[in-house]
Amino acid sequence: MDKKTGPAADPLIGRTLGGCEILERIGEGGMGTVYLCRQLSLDRRVVAKILHGDLIRREEFVKRFLREAQAAAKVSHPNIVQVLDHGQDGDLHYILMEYVDGVSVKDMIERRGAIPLDQVVRIGADAARGLSAAHRSGIVHRDVKPANLMLTSDGIVKLADFGIAKPLGEDVEEITQTNFLVGTVQYMSPEQCEGKDIDGRADLYSLGITFYQMLTGRRPFEGRSTVDLMRQHLHDPPPPVERYIGKVPAEISRILSRMLAKNPEERYADGDALVADLESFQRRRSQAGAAATREVESMRDAATVANIAQTEVDAPSSGAVPGRRARPWGALAVVLLFTLAGAGYAYLHLHGKLPWKKNGGGQPPNGRRPDPVGPIQGGNGAGTNGAGNGGTPEPPTKDAGELARLASDDLDSGNLGAALSAARKGRREHPDDARFTELLPRIASRIREGMVQVEGGKAILGDERDPASSPRWEADVKEFWIDRYEVTNTDFERYRLSTGAPAPPGWEEGEVPSGREKHPVTQVTFEEAKAFAAWAGKRLPTEVEWEKAARGPDDRLWPWGTTFIASKANTMQAGRSDTLPVDALPGSETPCGAEQMIGNVWEWTSSAYAPYPGATPGKVVFRDGLLVARGGAYTLFARPETANVPTVSSRMGVVPGHRSKSLGFRCVWSGEDSR
């Protein structure tokens, strides 16, 4: 629940009520005040709703308050905030409820505007499940709206304020019938507006209004008065959602139209029917996504360097690293990456030498040479620009207290990118407010959990015997931190539940495959990896940062030294044909402590696949629009006798929208990213 600072002089703070110590005031509604409490017997957090003092002398309100609490307590369902107890202590009438650690959908909409479709569908389905359970128990909520839908830190939706009526307030949003509030007019069904008897289908209409608002960021009906809003519910069709967000799937339009039917007989008969349609849509969407990204991945005997043209390389120069065997580059296979016309995905295909005609001495066709060091800017391969949150939008302008609350709530829920964005905005706009000075180090500390430090200084880059990675050169790198492990399926699932991002192809029913929780997440595009990094308050590494972390301060070719050791890298040489858990090879550590930076999966970087400074024209043709992946993968067959193994310098060019079972990522963070 949203935490709001209550008056310091609240006499109830510190008092014990129903076996619960009152800790702080966190909200206020039409009928009562909401407090965070600690249940002494179980040492857990609960919520107490206490009836307003000016209502306790009105018997009808007291009866209504307690009657609805008794009814709601009979419904036990994962998608409903559980009523634990109710009672009276002197003049105080209270209801004890489950504490929900999360945010309301109302807050989500206020912060983000429109919510991603996949998350809208999941929220809608969870809410419908909760409503269905209540309706089977004979309870109609009557006030379904974004403020009463709570999203926990685990991504579960819970319906709050179940069936508790509120008195008429001064706000024109609320109306009454025989002195009792029966809903919030913006979300009220036509039959409620007419004062007719209602059933569960009225709740489904209100959920439809909420569904519309989640999709578009705005309600379908807005009016200057209660009467105007009621008229629209009764007679006006809602504006098409396409007016605000562009085209949506036809099935979603059909589901929404049925939820918002004026006639209850034309709506879903119950929540279960709505859930069935939403789940059907999710299945088809997941299957379509998997079908659209099926790929060929037979990378046996593949080279560690992936080019898109025939490679013609002279003998190694005299500047080769001592003690290394020359590589027979002419015998190496090369990997062709191409984008299937109209399909938006890439295939990996093996060839020997390709009959590819070089142009203009190896220059890109348009003469541009992208920066090989920095991140890509713009286009569908846009990378971060070094901002710590990787593009997380700042919250709308708010006062210092609200920004501090947003940052604190996001920190508690693990949405570190949003927490960082709110705290930075707060410090910039309110430089004298000590809350932001205190929050930023806490956020930075959380971001660095699971990361290892890479000292700044000179980075040695490249490999003279690798045409795509030559010549060797040096760059100055500032201190940064890098994930110890590749991002796992479990990591990505937490992000997905928090943001509503779609599951990668291969996750049946959107769930992490059993037994693969600690394996690296794969089949994610560059943009999806970048979005995860932003959510985590991090960014994707440049390839200079990646090689600095993998190589360390000296001239080694592999993280552990100058000799390839098959047991320290997950490649086919070790007899493996699948990814490993990210912590399965402790002997693979780099000098900074990162693990499995060679093998397991290729890793996205934010850098363009381009010639290194001083590269000899004509040796390699670089195509515009590709990004660099680093590290090699389990699909590579390492041949030490030919030195055909991935090293810390190996580069592969990848289409930004590509998905592959052998492509994942890890993130980096810089101290300046949190300033």
Q: How is residue 488 written in tokens?
A: 């796992």
Which distant-in-sequence residues (6+ apart) come within 8 Å of 330 by Cβ? 312, 313
User: Coil, helix or strand for 89?
Assistant: strand
CA angle 466, 469, 474 (to 5 degrees): 125
Active site residue 143: yes
Give the helix, strand, coil percentages of the chain, each rounded to 5: 35, 20, 50
DSSP character string of 557-625: SBTTBSS--GGGSBSGGGT--S---TTS-GGG--TTS----SBSSEEEEEEE--PPTTPPTTS----TT
Q: Please provide residue 414's backbone torsions phi and psi, each rounded to the nearest 5 degrees.
A: 90, 5
Run of H or E including 672:
none
Which 8-state DSSP code applies to residue 394? Answer: P
Which 8-state DSSP code applies to residue 195? Answer: T
CA distance 534 to 520: 18
Residue 646's DSSP bridge partners are: none
Q: At what angle do helices 526-535 and 489-499 cross, to 10 degrees?
A: 80
Please give the distance of CA 570 from its chain centroid, rounded to a whole number: 28
Quote the radius of gyration of the chain (alpha carbons, Å): 29
Run of H or E including 658:
none
CA distance 95 to 85: 6
Annotated catalytic residue, options 107, 118, 126, 143: 143
* Cβ burial 114-137 (10 Å sphere, 16+ → b, else e): bbebbbbbbbbbbbbbbbbbbbee
Q: Which residues are catalytic?
A: 143
